[in-house]
Amino acid sequence: MSYEDAFGADLRDAFVKATRPCIVKFASREVGYASVAAAITYVHRTLRREELLLECNTCFDGEGRRISAEAILKVDWPEA
């Protein structure tokens, strides 16, 4: 939106049209508290055959750092 405000061109629509969603599985040595808590909750609820909760999931925030090609293990392209 900042680019559009400054230059009058909508980059978001062009990006959405040129890309599609994917799920990227990658290795990282940077494990935060939220990731460990989500993993423990997932294992606990799975072993007890309980319904999985939102707390069994987490999101990665690379804080603008790129993920190297060597760290990428798998890319899934879900059907739209």
Distance CA 14, CA 72 (A): 26
β-pair partners for 75 = 24
Here the tokens at position 43 are 């294992």
Per-position b or e across 69-78, b if 16+ CB within 10 A of its CB: eeeeeeeeee
* pLDDT value, residue 40: 95
Residues in a beta bridge with 24 = 75
d(CA 41, CA 30) in angstroms, rounded, equals 19
Alpha carbon distance 59, 38 (integer Å): 10
pLDDT at 35: 87
Q: What are phi and psi of 18, to 5 degrees?
A: -90, -10
The predicted model scores a pTM of: 0.55
pLDDT of residue 80: 58
- Profile the chain (80 residues) by mean pLDDT over runs of 10 residues: 86 90 88 88 96 89 88 89
Q: Where are the chain's structural domains?
A: 21-76
